[in-house]
Every structure is written in structure tokens, then in C-alpha cells.
Chain A
Amino acid sequence: MKTSFTVNGSPFSIDLDPRVTLLDALRDHLNLTGSKKGCDHGQCGACTVLVDGRRINACLSLAVMHDGDEITTVEGLSEDGRSPLQSAFVRHDGMQCGYCTPGQLCSATAVFREIAEGWPSHVSETLDGPYALTREELAERMSGNICRCSCYPGINAAILETAEEDAGYAEAAE
């Protein structure tokens, strides 16, 4: 099936078996292997990408469902791989094996926007924002991205520092 979408700002038009997931389309057909396949089940979050700015598990979505969509993967988060968030992950050792890292980065990017747009989470005290990116809010919102190396302290420190030091980051992510 012919499908057209934009990935990291570049248009792609590809003919795909309708069974191909968005994740496999990115990894195997567009050679964008930054997005990872940890479970192929929507249970680990390693495949998290942004579709029209919102995070999804790319393994749970068929590529052909994304005709016309704008997709952002870890490769598209910055030109040089050294955005404030990416740099903070390195500085705070927010990764060890690195396999969950692209998903963590995409998820965190979406969290900035979700907070800015006033989306509640399971730990929010009310359903009406605005919400501050507290440690508790962050931990809850990032719990769909498993890190077996258990770099949560570094991941959280990196995200919170980025949110604090770069107030414009949430807007920039939009």
C-alpha cells in the first residue's frame, strides 16, 4: 500500500505491506534505526515517536495509518544530536546501555508539551491545569518508558534541568 508521510521534516512516499508497523517502516524501510524495538507489544516504550507532536508507541501502530502525518523520531529532535535535552541526558548519565534512550527522549519532549497544554496525569490533584513539572508528575508521565539499566535518577534530573534552564523548551517542542 502506498503511504506518504513526513519524517523529521522530509517527505517520504513508500509502498508497504499493510502489516508493517510504523516502527518497522522507520527502522527497516527508511533506515531510521534510532527508534528501538524492545517488545513489539506497547509494553516498554523504547519505540516512542512523536506523531503530529504527540507521543505514541510506534510498534502498536501500522505505517499505513499515518498517511499525511508528521512524524518525529530521535534523529529529528535536533540537527546535531546535542539539543539541551540530549546534552542533559549525557551530562546526568541518563542512559547506560542506551537502548531505551531514544524513547525516553521522545517521551520527555512530549511531556514538556503535555504540561504546557495542561494535560492532567494520574497523579495530578485536579483535572484542570495548569500543572508544574514536579518530580512526581514527571515520574508518573515517564513511567511508560522502561529502563532496565534503571537510569531513572539521571533521566529525571536531565528532564527537570532542561525544563528549568530552558523555559522556552516546551514552546520550542511544539
Chain B
Amino acid sequence: MTFDLKIDEPHPEHRADGLAQGVLEQDNDRPDGWLKVAGTATYAAEEQADDMLHGFLVRAPKIGAVSCPNVDDVRAMEGVRSVLRDPRMIRNAAQGTANEAPAQGVDRAAYVGQPVALVVAESFEQARHAAQALVVSVEEEDKPVQPDAVEPEKPEDKSTELGDLDRAMSEAAFTVDAVYTTPSMVSAAMEPHAATAHWDGETLTLRGSLQMLKFNRNELADSVGLDPKHVRVLAPYVGGGFGSKLGISADCVAAALAAMELKQPVRVVQHRRNVFEVNTRRSETRQHIRLAADTEGRLTGLGHEALVSNLPEEEFSEPVIQGSHFAYAASNRTLGMKVARIHRSAAGSVRAPGESVGVTAFEVAMDELAQAAGVDPVNLRLRNIPEKDPESGKPFSSHRLEAALRQGADAFGWSHRHAAPRQQREGEWWIGTGMAAAFRVNMVIEAEARISLTRDGATVMSDMTDIGTGSYAIFGQIAAELLGLPLDRIDAQLGDTRFPPGSGSGGSFGAASTGTAVWLAGMEIRKQIADRLGCSEAELTLKDGKATYANKRASLRDLLSDEPITGHGHVEPGEAAEKVRQATFGAHFAEVAVSDVTGEVCVRRMLGSFAAGRILNPRTATSQCHGGMTWGIGMALTEELTHDRRDGHAVNRDLAGYHLPVNADVPPLEVHFVEELDDWAGPMQAKGIGELGICGAGASILNAVYNACGARVRDMPATPDRVLAALPS
């Protein structure tokens, strides 16, 4: 049997509050933490086999028709078992939820860095050496690589035109009309994409570093030409993803093809420099933002038009304006997207696609309006909170922006701020503070999970992944809460396509999607226990391994036979998505110091205040927010993937050239959660938290830079040269 739930209606009953175990919403250790500190959590490239072969990917150095003139010489090199030039190898990682093979082929490189061969040898060192010896000749083709070099596509379904923005601008008391740019960025998860493939003549087993296994299995099967039922994918521990591992990656397909050809296990680990180009980047954006406001700063018009890019044949385009559709009220609205088809590496989802860069630029524009109108930036946001979705007119499922703004401002000490820039100085350093609102759409996607309850405890099973997000922790808590068991009696087993298909990790939907499936599976077990006790599920109390109903009391051990009780949960998005606008909201506050001499920016402290429904585990949720806020530091100050203007190649494709925030770049971070139960989010009233923390975080820093020294930087990142150039003379 399965407990199915289609989320069509709100869930006002708040069952989680009436359960007895008391572990949900508690600040618990992540159970996988113990394996991670001991070094015993096994990632994709850590499976050992005596006959393991090693593959090394070879990249195209130019765009055009590819040939490998010395392939026979390389095949004869010591230890080399194969030089794979298989047309089934994939051009770049699949997009999230693609569910089919991405563009394939090795004869024509669509971008610099495309994998065009896999050299397989008996040792890693032999494979790497032979891969470096393989000559890749490219008959160069002249392809556009700059977003401005082509006439962009203008997808009509991605534009909104309401009222008359031009007129609103001309009649407004205050306006902002500016262009903001963000560069290409990358996920740069710490674990490089890696795969270990086994082929037994019938079944392909692939251990990968992947986020969404039910889709990845189909993508892999489609790529190599197998029936998905003959493909098993495992990813019990994933060393970070942030979107770059949503779709099947080049290492997986190449490893699978090599294993099938050579009938031996093959491991392929992407070199860090390949990771930067073979997997999807966040598109660069150019955003034209217009704001029209009355004398009190109330928006009468709002424009957000963005240009992004991607390779031909990629359906994804960075949804820059996603947050602007619902963030602020304004009756005259022009929103639109343009997509330039160019030959940089493929663009795809990177943590909070859309709002990460869209909200960030928009919130800088809002700061410019606050300055122009002489309105406090927090008050400006408060004055423009819409009562309902400003475009569709749908009600919000729950809207806690005001609380996030007020609570954040109080905790930060916002009222002590100097409204005008350049008011506080310590030696060469200008000191200032800034803020931004945070917005992120909330989603649920189809997910299943199973729980098996035995006398010893319960096992939760799903192909859901934990990419550092805390899936193991919260699924354990949900199951323990429903079944009335201590946490150490729950074992969560994830990351194997032999288990029921979860949502996968992406789009902040893991907790509310697969988490709800776990909840439903637990409910089905509660129902069966209640039947045995002769009561309804709602009358049943389960706590510490004991079942209680009225004056009946029994231990779960006694109620269970040798047969386990299983529950299977299945959740699907339903009409809720049509009936209400659902999102998560927050507010960022930052204090910075800016050197008047060098233009260097140091972030001194950051505070985030977030509303994301019920917080299932405050500790893991806080860590996710720390992550988002720190990505905001990177976006504001250091992260930029630079493309060569001639051939589009990624110039700084390693961690020495692409600057992630390191420990010393990150000040104390404070995270507050706003109390919220969103009844439309399902039976737990919980929404996603993984991406909200990045949305707008960078804007609070850029706005603080302006408040500190008067430099308004509209081209990110605000590197010292840009800050110096923007300083008032």
C-alpha cells in the first residue's frame, strides 16, 4: 500500500505539533557527520577493485571539427587499454530533470573544453600521461562567444507587460534606471565530478557524484543505449553539488562506455580544471532595471529585463526575473528575458538559479531608490510588500517578509546606522552597513520513500541524495517523530536507485518533497499500528518505542511480529501551485570596511533573517544559510569566471584563479529564523531553505560598500579596481 498525497489544499492541522517524540525541529547532530569526521563516508571515486581501470578525459582546445591524428600511438602506450572516441559521449552535463541524454558527440567541439576522448589505462598515472600525449587537432570554426555578438532569442513565455512602465517612469517622483552585470560563476563543489562504472554483461552499476538519481539513471541509460531497468546508480555521499551535479555528467557516461567495452570496472574523475568547463556554469547576466516611485517611495512601476546566454540545444536559461514577478507591488511592469546562443561552456543551474543574481541586482537598485527618495532601505521594502501576487492576483500561501525585515533589523542594530554614505572612518577604512531583502520561489516535486519498521528500529529508504544538505538528519527526525522512536533507532539509507525514487537534491525542494514522502510513509505505519491497537491513527501516541491509546499501552516490540511493517509515501505537487503564490522570504544585513587606499572590501559581520516554514533541524538549516550568505560574499566580491573574448574559453578555470571565499574572508555570520508554518507547503508546513540564503546576500554587501564609501558598484564582483573607480572623487 502507499499513502499518496497530491498537494491541492492547505494542511492547517499541524500534526507535527501534536506528536510525542519531540525530535522534529530539534537541534540534532547530522548522523552522517560521524562518518565524515572519521573519513569513512565513501564518495564516488572511493570504491576499490583489483581490476579497476582509470580513465582520463581529454578536452578540445578550440571550437570546431575534432580529430586525433596520433590515436594509434597513444593506444600503444604503456598500460593504455583504450582511447574512447565514442559518439555517445556527452558534450556537457545534462540539465536538471532532463531525464534524457544531453547533446552528444566527440567529432565537433561546440565549446572550448568539451570532452572529445577518454583515455583508459591500468593506472591513473598511465592514463593521465597518455591523455596528455593525445594530440587533438581542431579545424577551427568561427563561432560567436560574446553575448553581444548575436541577435538574442526573446522567449515570449518569459515576458510580462502590465500597464505602461514608460509613462510611470516619466511621471514618477523618483526613478532608478540602471544596468547591472554579473559574470559567469561556477558551483565549484569540493568533490570533483567522478564515476566508477561496473558492467556485468547485463547491468550497469554506476557510483557517481550526482544530485538527482531517478533522472540520472534515465539520462545515463539514454546516453549509452540501455534500458533504464539495467542501470543502477549509487550516490550515498556527495561532496557538494550546488546544481552542477543535477544532470548526468561526462565522466559518468564515459566511464560507463569504457566499462561496457573493456568489461572491467572503470573510474573516471574529472580533473578540477575540467570541472570548470564540462559542467554547467551560471550564465553571466546583464540586467536592465527600472524603478518608478512616488514621493514616499511606493513603487508605481518596475522593469527587469535580462540578457543571459547558453549553448545551442540547451533548454535552460537563467531565470533572472523569477523573483521580480512577485517581490514588490507596482501596477506598471515590464519583465523580460533574452537568451544569446553562444559558444561558451553550457549554462545551467547553480545554487538558486534566477534569484541568486536577479534578486541581488534588483536589491542594489532598491538601495539606489532608497537613497534617491530619502527613505530608509528597510522602510522602502516594507512600503512595497504586495498584498497578493502583483501579476496573477493570487494570494500568497504565507508572507513573512515584514517579520524577517523587522526582526533582522532589530537584531542587527540597524537603527544605529548613518543614512548618508561616508560617515564613519577608521584609519584608511570606511565603515558602512547595508541590507537587502531575500526572495526565492518554493517548489515541491514528486517523491517517494519507504520506511520499514522492525523490532530493532526503522529504516528509511529513498534514492534521495544528501549533498551536504542534511537529508540523513531530517529524514531520521521525521521518521523518529512519527514512529515514536529515539533517533538512534532510525537508519536512513539514501542514494541508491534500488530504493523508491525521491525528489533528488535541487531547487531547495528536498526537505518538503522527499521529507513529505517520508512523513507519509511514517503515517502509513502509524495507521497499521493503530489498527493493531484498535484505535484511529489520530488517537495513537507513539513515544520511546511504546504505543499508547486510552488506557492501553504496549511496546512496539510486542506489537510487531517477525514481519516488518512497511509504509510507502508518495507526494506530488497539486493544485496548490495554481491556487497560491508560494515563496520563502528573508532579509540580509551586512557591515563592511572599505579601504580608501586599495579599494579592498572586508566584510565585518553579516546577519540573515529567514522565513521558510517549519524548520526541521535548526542546526543543519543554519549551516545551509551560512553557505548561502558566504556565496553572497563570493558573488559580491571575488567570484568571476572570465571568458576569453576570442574563443570563449574559461581563463581562470581552477581554484587559484577563481576565488571562492576562504575562512579568513568570512566574518561571524548570524542566522535567525522567523516563526512560520506555511499550511500550503504540505503536512509538515515546511519549505526549502537551501537557496534562500544566497538570494540578495551579495546586495547587502554592495549596499554596505556604498554606505561606507559612496562607491556604487553595478558590475559584480566589486573587486578593488572597480571600487576605486567608483569612489567619489
Which of A's residues lie within 8 Å of B, judged by CB?
17, 19-20, 24, 27-28, 31-41, 43-44, 46, 73-75, 81-82, 86-87, 89-91, 93, 95-102, 105, 123, 138-140, 142-156
Is the CB of B685 closer than 8 A to any CB of chain A? Answer: no
Chain B window 158-195, contacts with chain A (Cβ cutoff 8 Å), 1 for yes, 0 for no: 00000000000000000000000000000111111000
Known A19-B129, A151-B626, A152-B630; judge A73-B239 contact (CB<8 A).
Answer: no
Query: Which residues on the A side are within 8 Å of B40 (C-beta)?
Result: 34, 75, 81
Q: Cα distance A102–B38 when bound, in Å?
A: 8
- B37 and A148 form a contact (CB under 8 A): no
A-B contact pairs, 12 of them (CB 8 A): A33-B48, A38-B272, A39-B272, A40-B272, A96-B624, A97-B239, A98-B32, A98-B36, A140-B663, A142-B663, A143-B663, A151-B623
**20 more CB-based (< 8 A) A-B contacts, given A96-B624, A96-B627, A97-B238:** A17-B123, A28-B48, A31-B48, A38-B239, A44-B272, A75-B39, A81-B34, A81-B39, A87-B37, A89-B33, A93-B29, A96-B469, A100-B190, A143-B663, A144-B662, A146-B190, A146-B660, A149-B627, A150-B661, A151-B623
User: Contact partner of B620 among A81, A93, A155, CB < 8 A?
Assistant: A93
- A154 and B623 form a contact (CB under 8 A): yes
User: Contact partner of B623 among A17, A44, A148, A149, CB < 8 A?
Assistant: A149
- Within the complex, the shortest CB–CB distance from B32 to chain A, in Å, comes to 7
Q: Cα distance A38–B123 when bound, in Å?
A: 19
Q: Cα distance A31–B189 when bound, in Å?
A: 23
Is the CB of B631 closer than 8 A to any CB of chain A? Answer: yes
Stretch at the interface among B319-327, B371-379, B664-672: B664-672
- Within the complex, the shortest CB–CB distance from A19 to chain B, in Å, comes to 4
- B626 and A97 form a contact (CB under 8 A): no
- A97 and B666 form a contact (CB under 8 A): no
Question: Across the two chains, which residue of chain A brings its CB closest to B27?
Answer: A93
Chain B residues numbered 221-244 whose CB sits less than 8 Å from any CB in chain A = 237-242
Chain B window 601-643, contacts with chain A (Cβ cutoff 8 Å), 1 for yes, 0 for no: 0000000000000000001101110110111000000000000
* 6 nearest A-B residue pairs (beta carbon): A34-B39, A81-B38, A99-B239, A98-B36, A97-B468, A96-B468
- A19 and B623 form a contact (CB under 8 A): no
Query: Which residues on the A side are within 8 Å of B464 (C-beta)?
Result: none
Is the CB of B504 closer than 8 A to any CB of chain A? Answer: no
- B468 and A98 form a contact (CB under 8 A): yes
Is the CB of B46 closer than 8 A to any CB of chain A? Answer: yes
Q: Chain A's interface: helix, strand, loop or mixed, by majority?
A: loop
- A73 and B656 form a contact (CB under 8 A): no
- A38 and B192 form a contact (CB under 8 A): yes
- B623 and A101 form a contact (CB under 8 A): no
- B661 and A98 form a contact (CB under 8 A): no
- Within the complex, the shortest CB–CB distance from A65 to chain B, in Å, comes to 15
Q: Cα distance A143–B666 when bound, in Å?
A: 10
- B36 and A38 form a contact (CB under 8 A): no
- A93 and B30 form a contact (CB under 8 A): yes
Question: Across the two chains, which residue of chain B brings its CB closest to A31?
Answer: B48
User: Contact partner of A86 among B37, B239, B271, B665, CB < 8 A?
Assistant: B37
Q: Cα distance A110–B129 when bound, in Å?
A: 34
Is the CB of B651 closer than 8 A to any CB of chain A? Answer: no
Query: Which residues on the A side are within 8 Å of B41 (C-beta)?
Result: 98
Q: Cα distance A140–B664 when bound, in Å?
A: 5
- Within the complex, the shortest CB–CB distance from A149 to chain B, in Å, comes to 5
- Within the complex, the shortest CB–CB distance from A156 to chain B, in Å, comes to 7
Known A93-B30, A98-B32, A98-B36; judge A41-B655 contact (CB<8 A).
Answer: yes
Query: Which residues on the A side are within 8 Å of B623 (C-beta)?
Result: 93, 96, 149, 151, 154
- A156 and B48 form a contact (CB under 8 A): no
Is the CB of B316 closer than 8 A to any CB of chain A? Answer: no
Query: Which residues on the A side are within 8 Å of B655 (C-beta)?
Result: 38-39, 41, 43-44, 146
